[in-house]
Each structure stands twice: as structure tokens, then as C-alpha cells.
Chains A and B, each alone.
Chain A
Amino acid sequence: MTESEINWPALLRATDSGEQAEAVRTLRELLQNGLRIALNGRSGVSEAHLEDFAQESLLRVMDRLDQFQGRSKFTTWAQAIALNVAFTELRRKRWQDVSLDALLADGDRMAEPAIMADDVLGADEERTRLVTVLRDAIEKQLTPKQRAAIMGELRELPFDQIVQLLGTSRSAGYKLLHDARRALKQRLHEAGITGEEIQNAFN
């Protein structure tokens, strides 16, 4: 039977416990094999980690079976969930020592004039004006949490870590960041700086 012929959701929900157990076992193995490929060569990831990630992913997939809408192969959809589970955990371990205070302090410092000095800007007049407006907008348009979220992005902090530090949910955190970007963009627009200028300024 080919992948496209297997009705995974039906098998995983099967009332025949033997059939369901076999589907679960096969899917777990498939997810673990995929994670082995994806995380190949990554330091600190053992076979035991892969087993843990696969098991956690399986539970997540089972929990979200109703959300599968058949727009892709089931296994591709499940694999995307498994990757999200594994990478989220790996990022959490990597960044677990960063504090909210440090992030908020970075966000506050970001609004200080000193951070965007001439040696950063170079001599280009258009770019200088853009950054001056941007700095002013960061200081006056954004809340401390929005500044912290932007700073977290710039520090390449994982998004999950940013939302955890800010004590918010993933979707609320994304909205916070999205609102901050929109506010800054709007301010640049009001200052007569076009989208094209924004794109070209640092190319």
C-alpha cells in the first residue's frame, strides 16, 4: 500500500486495538527516522533524545488529528509537528539562562540615542534619516514589552523563549511583535519613507 492510499487518521482512531497499535508504532518509527535525518550532526542529540522527541510528537499528532485537513500527505503534516516539538525543546535548553530583566534592559537601551551612532549608520543621508525616525519611533511608539520582543528577535532568541520570558502565549506574543513592526512601519510611512526606501536602505 502506498503512502497516499493509507488513511492514517482512520487507522490511528481505529477501534480495533491491534490495528491502532500497529499504526501508532509505525508512525512513531517514521517520525523518529525523520528526526534522525533532520538532526543529523547536531551536537548533544542522542538516540534517546530522538526517541523522546518521537514519543512527544506522537502524542501531539494524536491530540491534533482533527486539525489534519488532507491538504498535504498526512506523514508530511505529522513530520512538521515532530520538527516543531524537537526544535522547540532544543532551543529551550540552549536559551534557558536568559532572563526577562536582561531582555527588558536591552529593549530600553535600544531606545537610547547612543545605540545608533554615526559609525553604525555610515554617511548615507537617506539611511541616516530612516534610522533617526526609527529610533524615535522605537522610543515613543512601542511599549517596553514590544521593545523587549524586538530586541529578543535581534538577539536571535527563539520566539518560544521570548514569549515565555514575556509571560504570554505564542499567538499573543506574535501579535505583540507584529503590532510593534506595524507601528514602526506606520511611523516611517508618516515620515514619508516609502517601502522601497526601507527595502533599499541596507541592501
Chain B
Amino acid sequence: MKKREQRLTRDQVGSIVKMLGLTTDREFNCGECLQRVSEFAECRLANQPVGEVIAKVEQHLALCPECREEYEALIRILRAGQ
């Protein structure tokens, strides 16, 4: 059976490259991110510096669109409550 040919778009190739650029040996997974994202969001809203551990939340958010979507929603809620 002839295989259906599929080409990756330039954007998709760019996405792989971007993911690799952000990849480090030790990263937070989604569960670890969820456990610390509330702390990260409060720091961000208060313009407070984040520590080394919490910086891993930021790195995970750059790689994970789902966690980023949830973080942005959390920021909307916190802003509405201010």
C-alpha cells in the first residue's frame, strides 16, 4: 500500500527546534508544575523575583501549552480578584 505523503510545515519544524532549544536535563513535569504554579502566579502578579525552583515553572510553561493555558486562566482569575 502506498504511504500517504505528509510534509511538516515550516512552523512545525520551527516548533521542534524551539522545543529543543528550551530542553534541559532536569525539568518540571506537568504535575510538579501544577504543584508550584500558584506560587509562581502570585510572584508574577506582585512583581516579585522567583527563586531557582520556581523558575522551573516558567521553563515548563514555555514548553507546555496546556499548563500555559491554565496558568493564563489563573492569572485572569487573580487579576479579577484584585
Give the B-binding residues of A (Cβ under 8 A).
Answer: 34, 37-39, 67, 71-73, 76-77, 79-81, 83-84, 87, 91, 106, 109-110, 112, 114-117, 120-122, 130-131, 134, 150, 153-154, 156, 158-160, 170-171, 174-175, 178, 181-182, 184-185, 188, 195, 198-199, 201-202
A134 to B15, CA, bound (A): 12
CA distance A153 to B23 in the complex (A): 14
Chain A neighbourhood of B76, CB < 8 A: 37-38
B42–A73 touching, CB < 8 Å = yes
Given contact pairs A38-B77, A72-B42, A171-B29, A158 touches B66 in the complex (Cβ within 8 A): yes
Taking Cβ atoms with an 8 Å cutoff, the residues of B that contact A are 3-10, 12-21, 23, 25, 27, 29-31, 34-39, 41-42, 64-66, 69-70, 73-74, 76-78, 80
In the complex with contacts A37-B80, A170-B29, A112-B20 CB distance below 8 A: no
Q: Which residues of B contact A154 (CB under 8 A)?
A: 8, 12, 15-16
Q: How far, in Å, is B51 (CB) from chain A's closest CB?
A: 10
- Which residues of B lie under 8 Å from residue A184 when comparing CB positions? 16, 20
Interface contact B7-A120, CB-CB below 8 Å = yes
* 10 cross-chain CB contacts under 8 A: A38-B77, A39-B73, A72-B38, A79-B38, A131-B13, A134-B17, A174-B29, A182-B25, A201-B17, A202-B18
Find out whether the CB atom of A87 lies under 8 angstroms from the CB atom of B69. yes
For B9, list chain A residues within 8 Å (CB). Answer: 120
In the bound complex, do residue A175 and residue B66 qualify as a contact, i.e. CB atoms below 8 Å apart?
no
Q: Is the CB of B29 within 8 A of A181?
A: no
Chain A residues with Cβ below 8 Å from B70 are 80, 83-84, 87
Interface class of chain B by DSSP: helix
Given contacts A38-B77, A178-B27, A117 and B7 within 8 Å (CB-CB): yes
B17, A130: Cβ atoms closer than 8 Å:
yes
Closest to B53 in A: A71
Question: Contact: A76 with B17, CB < 8 Å?
Answer: no
Q: How far is the CB of A11 from chain B (nearest CB, A)?
A: 18
Contacts of B12 in A (CB 8 A): 154
Q: Using Cβ atoms and an 8 Å threshold, which residues of chain A touch B34?
A: 80-81, 84
Q: Nearest Cβ distance between residue A20 and chain B, in whole angstroms?
A: 23
Min distance, Cβ A3 to any Cβ of chain B, angstroms: 9
A50 to chain B, nearest CB (A): 13
Q: Point out the residues of chain A lying under 8 angstroms from B74, CB to CB.
A: 38, 76, 79-80, 83
Nearest CB on A from B19, distance (A): 6
Q: Which residue of A lies closest to B9 (CB)?
A: A120
* B66 / chain A contacts, CB cutoff of 8 Å: 87, 91, 158-160
